[in-house]
Amino acid sequence: MKRQLARWTTLAASALLATGTMVLPAQAGEVTPSVVGGTRAAQGEFPFMVRLSMGCGGALLTKQIVLTAAHCVGASGNTTSITATLGVVDLNSGSAVKIKSSKVYRAPGFTGAENGNDWALIKLASPVTSTAVTTLPIAGSTAYDSGTFTVAGWGAATEGGAQQRYLRKASVPFVSDASCAAAYPGLVTGASLCAGDLANGGVDTCQGDSGGPMFRRDSANNWIQVGITSWGEGCARPGLPGVYTQVSTYAAAITAAAATL
Ligand code: ARG
């Protein structure tokens, strides 16, 4: 079975949103999963979440820089081709903040998500001023690379399913490097932080969530980013966890690169 790495294109995502047939407002008491196995996030719950126009997620690292996955972007350089949507759970909301990119910085050494280095920075044309938006600090050590994590995104709610209009969230348990490497032989463990319900599946990120953050509470009860949604074989399958870029591995490089943008 091929590992699913393809991101949603701008065209596919906006076609789905435009038709309105695949992206329905959730009903009260719904059980429909999304992210996969998750629920709707409340407006303002994750004010650092970013939707990118190529069909990926991201998190606001500074008021003018989005942290996302390398496999979501092209080569480093100036580009105005990406639009970031911020400050809303509903991508069709009239209150959405939309800002174009000015630059992309793709991690040096990136060759493919499964080989590690799956992180990138997108500089926005102007800093976000909305009070509905905050930044998400990144983990500078492995201290928080265990426990229960939160993932969020507008990606598919089921394997092969549609992109979502409303932000979804789920809780995913940490999966050890040893267990994850048993599922995925050749896993670059130093670059990866795995999560999911290994025994049962049912909860995971999925196509279109890539680039979005995996995060948890730190010792001061603040959100801290520990992962970047990167890849997995299918979505939410038992025995096949989600693989996230291990942010602590790259924190120094991310911070240094951000300072140069
Ligand atoms: N590569 C996918 C994307 O571009 C994310 C896949 C995450 N898959 C998973 N099973 N956790 O959106």
Residue of 3 and 58 predicted with greater confidence: 58
**C-alpha–C-alpha distance, residues 255 and 261, integer Å:** 10
243 and 140 fall within a common domain = yes
pLDDT at residue 87, as a whole number: 97
82 and 148 fall within a common domain = no
127 and 154 fall within a common domain = no
205-247, pLDDT tens digit by residue? 999 999 999 999 999 999 999 999 999 999 999 999 999 999 9
Residue type, position 162, single letter: A
Ligand 1 proximity of 231 Cβ (cutoff 6 Å): yes
pLDDT at residue 33, as a whole number: 37
What atom in ligand 1 is closest to the CA of residue 72?
A: 4
21-37, pLDDT tens digit by residue? 333 333 333 333 348 99
62 and 121 fall within a common domain = yes
pLDDT at residue 35, as a whole number: 86
Question: What is the pLDDT confidence band of residue 61, given thresholds at 50, 70 and 90?
Answer: very high
**Domain contains 256:** yes
Pocket perturbation via mutation, ligand 1, pick of 207, 214, 233, 240 by most ligand atoms within 8 A of CB: 207
**Domain contains 79:** yes
**Domain contains 155:** yes
188 and 217 fall within a common domain = yes
Ligand 1 proximity of 210 Cβ (cutoff 6 Å): yes
CATH number for position 189: 2.40.10.10
**Domain contains 35:** no
Q: Judge contact between 158 and 12, C-beta under 8 A.
A: no
**Domain contains 3:** no
Residue 115 lies in domain: 49-135+252-260
83 and 124 fall within a common domain = yes
122-147, pLDDT tens digit by residue? 999 999 999 989 999 999 999 999 99
**C-alpha–C-alpha distance, residues 131 and 169, integer Å:** 22
Pocket perturbation via mutation, ligand 1, pick of 168, 203, 205, 228 by most ligand atoms within 8 A of CB: 205
**C-alpha–C-alpha distance, residues 110 and 68, integer Å:** 13
